[in-house]
């Protein structure tokens, strides 16, 4: 949000824990992701506690969608999405590192 405000860009914020993306939206995000699809998955303590293998998600959009549809807390954040969430093609990127936010939003740090 701070980067968007700094650049004077209006954004809609989706609180994914309250309104998680469904499988169809996750599929659309993975189709439009700029970068490796596995970057959508947080490899944090919960990921480790579940004894998940990061290699299972490398280049595997189906596995990423299946995992995130079941475990919304493992969705990396922030994820920036351009396009109509209700339908049509999307472009997306994971906003880490922070410089990627500027790139995606068309500004400079």
Q: What is the mean pLDDT of residues 63-75?
A: 97
For residue 41, give every residue at least 6 positions away whose Cβ sits within 8 Å of its Cβ, in sequence order, or none.
47, 54, 57, 64, 67, 68, 74, 75, 76
- Confidence class of residue 11 from pLDDT cuts 50, 70 and 90? confident
Torsions phi, psi of 93, nearest 5? Answer: -155, 155
pLDDT(1) > 80: no
Rg of the chain taking only CA atoms, in angstroms: 14
CA distances from 97 to 22, 50, 57, 87, 93 (A): 26, 25, 20, 28, 11
Domain with residue 90: its CATH number is 3.40.30.10
In the chain, the number of structural domains is 1
Q: Are 92 and 34 in contact (CB under 8 A)?
A: yes
Which residue range(s) make up the domain with 14?
2-105
Q: What is the pLDDT of residue 98?
A: 83
Task: Flag whether the pTM goes above 0.85.
Answer: yes
């Amino acid at each position: 949000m701070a980067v968007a405000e700094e650049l004077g860009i209006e954004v809609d914020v989706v609180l994914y824990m309250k309104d998680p993306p469904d499988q169809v939206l996750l599929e659309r995000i993975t189709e439009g992701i700029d970068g490796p699809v596995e970057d959508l998955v947080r490899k944090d303590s919960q990921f480790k506690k579940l004894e998940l293998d990061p290699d299972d998600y490398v280049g595997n959009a189906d596995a990423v969608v299946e995992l995130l549809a079941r475990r919304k807390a493992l969705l990396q954040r922030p994820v920036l999405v351009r396009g109509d969430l209700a339908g049509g093609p999307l472009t997306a990127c994971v906003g880490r590192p922070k410089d990627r936010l500027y790139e995606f939003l068309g500004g400079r740090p």
